[in-house]
Structure 1
Amino acid sequence: MYKRKVLLVTAFGLFSLFFGAGNLLIPPLLGYNAGEQWFWVTLGFMITAVIIPIIGIMAHAKLQGTMYDFGKKVSPWFSSIYCVIVYIISIAIPSPRTASATHEIAIHPAFGTDPLWTSLIYFALVLVFVLNRSKILNVIGKFLTPLIVIMLLMVIGIGLYNSSLANPATFQSPIVSGILEGYQTFDAIGAVVVGAFIIVSLKFKTIDVEAYEAKKSLIRKAGLIAGLGLFVIYAGLISVGAYYGTEISVDSTLSNDMQRANLLRGISISALGTFGNTVLSVLISLACFTTAVGIVAGTADYFRGLFHSSNNAYIITAILACLAGVGVGQLDFHSIIVIAYPILLFIYPITIVLIILNVLPEKLATPLVFRAVVITTFIFSIPDVIGFISPSDSLKNLTNYIPLANHSLGWILPALVAFVLANVFFKTSTERSDS
């Protein structure tokens, strides 16, 4: 059985691997725009940024394999393609986004350096951590995460203590707005990537967590602790944005990413004085760095397994992922968000249904059910993606007939119907074969 110290290190590591650039920047502006309805926005945000990701960790605790195991019931080909797509997305968008956010918020304001130098140094350090694979979880869990949490609690605590009345709400559907903003944290995708990373990391531990049940218990408890931490921090950042954000001037003509950065910087400086700028710089750098390390290491782990536990495959993948991070990291944070959103509308729903199906009992999640639900989700996600890229009146007329499609959630009810019908069909066919 594992010790409490191992549980805390694993939980802290999980929290830090989840908590990256979007997790820090999105909640305050979300709260600012939600105003007096910040509580309802928080509920929506928690669904896609906390509940679904932690369910994903629970699924990993059950499967104790790789990301490939998440989709293999659909088909081996589907699972392989899904894994490659998710890992490419991870190293092409959220990983470079961490470097871009670090440069724009922490490095450039202080030193005025070129983003290329920031990306080169940033991903060189990421590569050093990733190549020392066996030590990553301990370093992040023991040292970096406590520092991140302390800084966050300082900003939230002092901000709320000095808070005033919230702004009027600007969202028509606060819960839906919170759900969609939660997409941009990448946390559901992060769950399938980070969970696999944690499984591999436990193999490097010197303690005995080899037994299936012991490892399952450890991962589940660590996931719940990390989820509780994310809940507290997200709710705190959203409420600080709603209340203390009224003290900060936010230029609505700026892009969302600049509004997010300026609001968080303003809150930090107002709460902590000139020291707040330093705190924010260190905070964003650490939060982004730990996430980038987890993404690159998780991707390298997968391709090492794909090539029969080849260390050369691990090293080559890590180097290529870091080079991709340097290249894409030259884009500003807003450009990366614009590229990311339509991709998220496509891959996020599939990831969510795979996570949920993998935690259900086997009798409710047969291969037939997996295939029916995933195919249905894929089909009904297409209008969301097309509507974002190239909206048209004919497409709008079509989506009017699909419940929740106007909120980019048109896949939910069809997926639920497919789940029920597939289970009914499977039960009926089983009873006939038995008789």
Structure 2
Amino acid sequence: MKKSKLSNVLTLGFALFAMFFGAGNLLLPPLIGVETGANFFIAIISFGLTGVLLPFTGILSVVFSGDSFHDLGNRINKYLVLILGTITIICIGPLIAIPRTAATTFEVGIKPFFQGMNPIWSSFVFFAITLALAIRPSKVVDVIGNYLTPILLVLLVILITMGIINPTANFSSSKLSMTGAFSRGFIEGYQTLDVLASVIFAGIIIKATKDKGYVDKKSKSQIVIVSGLLSTTCLLFVYGGLIYLGATSGVANGTEISRSELLIHISQNILGQYGVIAIALCMAFACLTTSIALTSAVGTFLNKITNGKLSYTLLTILCTIISFGLSIKGVDKIIEFAYPPLVFVYPITITLVIYIVLFGRFIKSKVPYTLALICSTVIAVFDLLKLFGKLDESTLKYLDKIPFFEYGLGWIIPSLIGFILGLGIDKIVNKKTSV
């Protein structure tokens, strides 16, 4: 690999890591470790599936389809995927993910040092920086990949390495079985929002790759895939390390402690007061890089679907204003609010991504993919109704007969049945057409 090519892969890979690694990615793993205890390794595997492997699959699904999420939509149904894309961009944008980055920066990076500060001022400065760097989308990837991410990674590696060498305590006790630990890690991975973000971030990385001169399909795909592998390796190391630190934090399962307080507790135990400073810097860089990338993604996506009627600049300004207003609610409130929409949209997005990657090169018909998405959507609706307590006992008893439904994974078998049924319908239609 030439030096320039290696340099480009490092820039793009680190940029992609930083785009994915935001507020939830730093806060969620330690609590999973506390809750799963000695079963932490099972939790690492399951959290890695939804937090690492599936986002990488999301990148691949776009690479195999074209240059952006819109090309992915053409493989299914452009109207269906346009609706899904809009819901996704709102979730990973001003509704949940971007406000969470600012709220987390305040709670972990600012509040420990300035107890009386109003979160409004912290969020104002945070979004002023976000807007200043996101307003020029061509510079987003280079700024994140060349400058911000290396600092973030060095700080995280120091914290995790020290915590592994000198664990604070023995593994916390857990009431969760191995199956329960797996389910906990898998479902909690939804909160990272990374599968949703991956199909949007792919377009940013692909555009940056083409801007660096890799315009033919082969070289473009190679650079994006290798960069994706670099980012997923970094993510898996960091997630695994943070889950382990939570499992050996000395915090008992069931203790009333917020995610932010747990992270501060762990860093302080490992590195003392320097640990608090280190985690504050980690949080600021992690959240800022993600906020910049997401704001840019929102502006680009909505600008394209409105055919340029709403300018990129206007959309990024509106995105930061809305995100600023929601950010002052606090991290736990935002995570609590985020869970229902994620329970609905995640199974649908995962179905789209997995089936395109597995079968997209061989099966060109839109019918199987569309039926698989419809089946996942039906199950997602039932999951949402269950979450809000709108299903009676008899209905729940029937739904629990669906494999994995009780673990929030009931969409797997129905989507497969829908896909196979779609293949059958497509064969029959093609046979009649050819007669």
Q: TM-score band (shorter)?
A: over 0.9
User: In structure 1, the residue corresponding to 2:112 is in which secondary structure?
Assistant: helix
User: Superposed, which structure 2 residues align to 1:334-413 within 5 Å?
Assistant: 334-359=332-357, 360-364=359-363, 366-394=365-393, 395-413=395-413
User: In structure 2, the residue corresponding to 1:290 is in which secondary structure?
Assistant: helix
Q: 1:233 aligns with which of 238, 249, 252?
A: 238
User: In structure 1, the residue corresponding to 2:176 is in which secondary structure?
Assistant: coil
User: In structure 2, the residue corresponding to 1:305 is in which secondary structure?
Assistant: helix
Q: Which amino acid aligns with 1:19?
A: F
Q: 1:307 to 1:393 in 2, by over 3 A?
A: closer
Q: Which amino acid aligns with 1:145?
A: T
Q: Are 1:155 and 2:154 counterparts?
A: no
Q: In 2, are the aligned partners of 1:155 and 1:267 still within 8 Å (CA)? A: no
User: Superposed, which structure 2 residues align to 1:51-200 within 5 Å?
Assistant: 51-91=53-93, 92-111=95-114, 112-163=116-167, 164-172=169-177, 173-200=180-207
Q: In 1, are the aligned partners of 2:209 and 2:224 still within 8 Å (CA)? A: no
Q: Which amino acid aligns with 1:107?
A: I
User: In structure 1, the residue corresponding to 2:410 is in which secondary structure?
Assistant: coil
Q: In 1, are the aligned partners of 2:380 and 2:411 still within 8 Å (CA)? A: yes
Q: 1:79 to 1:392 in 2, by over 3 A?
A: closer
d(CA) in 2 for partners of 1:375, 1:307:
26
Instruction: Name the structure 1 match of 2:43.
Output: 41
User: In structure 2, the residue corresponding to 1:3 is in which secondary structure?
Assistant: helix
Deviations 1:173-231 (A, max 9, x none): 1111111010111110111121122223334x3x3112221111111111111111111
Deviations 1:115-146 (A, max 9, x none): 11111111111000011222211111111111
Instruction: Name the structure 1 match of 2:304.
Output: 305
TM-superposed CA distance for 1:277, in Å, is: 0.8
Q: Which amino acid aligns with 1:233?
A: V
d(CA) in 2 for partners of 1:321, 1:269:
35
TM-superposed CA distance for 1:368, in Å, is: 0.3
Structure 1 length normalisation: TM-score?
Answer: 0.93
TM-superposed CA distance for 1:431, in Å, is: 4.9
Q: In 1, are the aligned partners of 2:58 and 2:195 still within 8 Å (CA)? A: yes
Q: In 2, are the aligned partners of 1:41 and 1:178 still within 8 Å (CA)? A: yes
Instruction: Name the structure 1 match of 2:314.
Output: 316
Instruction: Name the structure 2 match of 1:224.
Output: 229
Q: Which amino acid aligns with 2:380?
A: S
d(CA) in 1 for partners of 2:430, 2:66:
29
TM-superposed CA distance for 1:403, in Å, is: 2.1
TM-superposed CA distance for 1:250, in Å, is: 7.3
d(CA) in 2 for partners of 1:366, 1:239:
44
Q: Which runs of 5+ in 2 are unaligned?
A: none
d(CA) in 2 for partners of 1:135, 1:71:
27
d(CA) in 2 for partners of 1:23, 1:157:
18
Instruction: Name the structure 2 match of 1:3.
Output: 5
d(CA) in 2 for partners of 1:155, 1:7:
26
User: In structure 1, the residue corresponding to 2:311 is in which secondary structure?
Assistant: helix
Identity among equivalent pairs (%): 29
Q: In 2, are the aligned partners of 1:72 and 1:78 still within 8 Å (CA)? A: no
Q: Which amino acid aligns with 1:115?
A: P
TM-superposed CA distance for 1:428, in Å, is: 4.7
TM-superposed CA distance for 1:426, in Å, is: 2.6
TM-superposed CA distance for 1:262, in Å, is: 1.8
Deviations 1:354-402 (A, max 9, x none): 1112223343352001110011110111111011122543342332232
TM-superposed CA distance for 1:434, in Å, is: 4.7
d(CA) in 2 for partners of 1:89, 1:329:
14
d(CA) in 1 for partners of 2:264, 2:325:
27
Instruction: Name the structure 2 match of 1:415.
Output: 415
TM-superposed CA distance for 1:307, in Å, is: 4.1
Q: Are 1:27 and 2:29 counterparts?
A: yes
TM-superposed CA distance for 1:68, in Å, is: 2.1
Q: Which runs of 5+ in 1 are unaligned?
A: none
d(CA) in 1 for partners of 2:147, 2:175:
39
Q: In 2, are the aligned partners of 1:357 and 1:365 still within 8 Å (CA)? A: no
Q: Which amino acid aligns with 2:231?
A: A
The RMSD of aligned alpha carbons is: 1.9
Q: In 1, are the aligned partners of 2:103 and 2:329 still within 8 Å (CA)? A: yes
Q: In 1, are the aligned partners of 2:174 and 2:253 still within 8 Å (CA)? A: no
d(CA) in 2 for partners of 1:54, 1:14:
10
d(CA) in 2 for partners of 1:397, 1:59:
36
d(CA) in 2 for partners of 1:333, 1:379:
30
Q: Which amino acid aligns with 1:156?
A: I
User: Superposed, which structure 2 residues align to 1:251-262 within 5 Å?
Assistant: 252-254=255-257, 258=258, 260-262=259-261
Q: 1:365 to 1:409 in 2, by over 3 A?
A: farther
Q: 2:215 aligns with which of 194, 210, 214?
A: 210
Q: Which amino acid aligns with 1:224?
A: L
Q: What is the number of residues matched between the two proteins?
A: 426
Q: Which amino acid aligns with 1:98?
A: T
